[in-house]
Structure 1
């Protein structure tokens, strides 16, 4: 870690840039005003996630120049991430039709997958799974889902930021212990950029991430998982385990709404974490609980899988079963009208 000093510089740069963006949002009245679908009650500036995009992008270009990460890795992350961020920024400042947003998301996912070289062979339960072109198509769908689920899960103060930091730092530690030096820097830089932003976004938030930031995090972290798979299936499963809270809540909620026939592209507040925040009458308990679950439940399982103490797919199932029970307990995907009778 010869260039470790880059990390505090990234944190400070993100901290300062977020402060500037907050002043800009206040001056231009780029404010998220609470409505019936909101999980907050106070008008709050939005668009602070742009700081994460800019700082991480510059830092990633720097480490590419220092040859701390491969050019292909950086092109995958920067190209896909910047396109998604631009789409999100435009949507934050106006409105883009859902079909055009989705088209841009598929293009960004395809770009990332091109540089990642597709979906590698995955080992699970002792079987080798090689899906070929079908696997590449699934990987594109996976990346589009990852960026959108991150957007869906960015609904209360600090939750999306803390999830990114926990996952990135957890896998960076695993990479360090396993000697995967080429994979360490990008997650560390992203965690640092998000940490600077989290100072302003921690409950009670003084600025929101916005679609530019949440979509960017989703596509970049999703790309991390596929890049890791080329070094070992165990790392792919470790990422999925660390992202378990977001994956389970968002996927279970979407499935339940689809089965019911709801318009899934419309704004709602029926995720488990949103019901939980209303049940506990605040964002802080839920955000802190997410961090604790990541550290004390998901991280040990990610370690066990990464060091091949248990099969990756089995570890994933073990990790997700309690999360699924939590999603059911907090009524993920249930019609919002039910809330008034149970909270």
Structure 2
């Protein structure tokens, strides 16, 4: 608990310091682009909230090493996260890093995890398909792809105040719960210190958006959750590998659907931004017409809770049936169908009436 508190308070204080001193660094740390297809803020805001989370993790891991000197896994994971966080923070400061370069450094972090922690995805609990994973290289490549993909997925869903950060916190709590059930203190610590560090930032980000997560923060959260999920199923054979997939269902399906939409329907690079993400549609077609005022709980702040509930549709069955591959596979299928159905209804201006909860 003391490590979690260290992560929370250090992140909280650093975030406050960044906000209070923004007049000194705003020229390089703030987001000046107010007109992009995914931009919904109307004030210049620092976008280096990821720095607070990284510092929170740093102090929490130091605290862990002080009390448990052989806590090498935690320190190694922190070191492995440096490339993906560093390239994201560099983009936040310069706004000049290409998508390919960011993908490369995220990929590098994932490779470091595979090499130093000697972990990979060795099974899917699917007959015949698991035979492929008897070749070690396949499991390593699959794991590297999964970590890289989820790190970028959290960046994709980072569109509104409190969205990706709270989804991350909820997911980490679920991972910590399974770690508690299995009495794995390392998994519990990895999950809770990141949740504590995110919460220290979240308080300042939601609902008023005084600071943004930035690419560095989104990549770091996604990387940490992906690595923790894979470590959990690798250390405990009784946990279905579909737990790691379903618990991250919302950012994963949002990313895959985004790639499909941009590449197939729009005929452009998946790396180019557009304005029709799930969260964007909720803002524009459900909330924005009714909440154009600038109060503290505007349409921007009202958007995230819709997606928190959506994420809960994957997290709830994950913790209920974490050991049952058939149940988790069924939940995955049900979620994909629900996501596509709701998305198509909103696009066609046929939003279900129950979604207009405040109109």
TM-score by length of 2: 0.83
Once residues 142 and 299 of structure 1 are traced to their aligned partners in structure 2, the CA distance between those partners, rounded to angstroms, is: 18
Tell me, yes or no, if structure 1 residue 255 matches structure 2 residue 272: no
Q: How many residues align structurally?
A: 327
Contact kept? 1:147, 1:217, Cα under 8 Å: yes
Give the structure 2 partner of residue 338 of structure 1: none
List alignment gaps of at least 5 residues for structure 2. Answer: 289-298, 349-359
Q: Would you say 1:78 and 2:78 are equivalent positions?
A: yes
Shift of 1:128: 7.0
Paired residues for 1:300-319 under 5 Å: 300-308=316-324, 310-319=326-335
Paired with 2:260 and 2:69, the residues of 1 have a C-alpha distance of 40
1:10 corresponds in structure 2 to: 7
Q: Distance in 2 between matches of 1:218 and 1:5?
A: 24
Contact 2:30/2:44 (CA < 8 Å) preserved in 1? yes
1:200, distance to aligned residue in structure 2 (A): 0.7
- Residue 224 of structure 1 deviates from its aligned partner by 1.1
String of CA shifts for 1:260-292, please: whole Å, max 9, x gaps: 321222233221111211221122232112223
The structure 2 residue matched to 1:26, chosen from 23, 28, 43, is 23
Q: Counterparts of 1:70 and 1:233 in 2: how far apart (Å)?
A: 24
Structure 2 CA distance for partners of 1:60 and 1:232, relative to 1, 3 Å: farther
Which residue, 300, 315, 324 being the options, matches 1:299? 315
Distance 2:157 2:244 in 1: 17
Can you give the 5+ residue segments of structure 1 that lack an aligned partner in the other structure? 333-343
1:339 maps to what in 2?
none
Q: CA RMSD for the aligned pairs?
A: 2.4
Structure-to-structure mapping, 1:191-270, within 5 angstroms: 191-230=195-234, 231-232=236-237, 234=239, 236-260=241-265, 261-270=267-276
- Cα-to-partner distance string for 1:176-221 (whole Å, 9 max, x where unaligned): 1232333111100000110110011112211101111111111111
**Structure 1 residue 144: Cα displacement:** 1.5
Contact 2:317 2:331 in 1 (8 A): yes
The answer to whether structure 1 residue 284 and structure 2 residue 298 are counterparts is no
Q: What SS does the corresponding residue of 1:321 show, helix, strand or coil?
A: helix
Contact 2:84 2:108 in 1 (8 A): no
Moved over 4 A (4+): 125-128
Distance 1:74 1:237 in 2: 27
